[in-house]
Amino acid sequence: MTLLAGAAAGGSNKVGAQQHASSLRRIGALWSLSETNPDMQARLTQFNQGLVRLGWLEGKNIHLDGRFAAGETDRFESLAKALVASKPEVIVAQSTPVALALFGETRSIPIVFVSVSDPIGSGLVASLSRPGGNVTGVLLYEEGITGK
C-alpha cells in the first residue's frame, strides 16, 4: 500500500510556496467497497499511513477525494464520471471494473490501479514492462515482476 500511496501522490511539492487550498495536490480514488466495510477501512488506513510516511498529509499538501461504490457495480460508471469531472491530478482505482470505468472516462489523468488481475487482457495496459497510456499499477500475482 505504501508503494501505491507513493505512486498516487507522485510529483513534487511546490517548494517555497504557501500551502493553501489552491496548492494542494489532488488525489482521487474510486473504491469498489463501502467506506464502512471492515476490509475497506483497513485498506484506507494502510493507504493513508503510506501517504503520511511519504510526507503527504490531508489538508496540508494533498486533498483526497474518495468515492465508494459499496459493491454496487452499476455505480462504477457514474462515480468514475463524477471523479474525473473533479479534475484530480491522479486517480487510484481498486479492481478491474473500477479501473475500466475510469479508463473509459479519461485518457489524460493518470490512473494507478490495485487489485487488477489481468491488466493486459482487460485492455488497461499494452504490456507489464511498458504500460503506455495513462494507466499503471501494482500487481501482486505476477511472479516475474513482484520484486520490482
- Residue 121 contacts by C-beta under 8 Å, 6 or more apart in sequence? none
In contact, 112 and 91? CB cutoff 8 Å = yes
The CA distance from 44 to 74, in Å, is 23
Please indicate, yes or no, whether the overall pTM of this predicted structure exceeds 0.85. Answer: no
Ordered by where they begin, the domains of the chain are 2-6+22-138 (3.40.50.2300)
pLDDT tens, 126-136? 998 899 999 99
Q: In angstroms, rounded to a whole number, what is the distance separating the alpha carbons of residues 135 and 114?
A: 11
Count of all residues that appear for the chain in the document: 148
Count Cβ atoms below 10 Å from residue 68 Cβ, excluding itself. Answer: 20
Instruction: List pLDDT tens digits, range 6-63.
Output: 555 554 443 344 445 568 999 999 999 999 999 999 999 999 999 999 999 999 999 9
Percent of the chain with pLDDT over 90: 72
Write down the residue that cell numbers 460508471 correspond to. Answer: 77
Question: What's the burial of 140, exposed, middle or buried (CB within 10 Å: 0-12/13-18/19+)?
Answer: exposed
- Distance of alpha carbon 35 from the chain centroid: 15
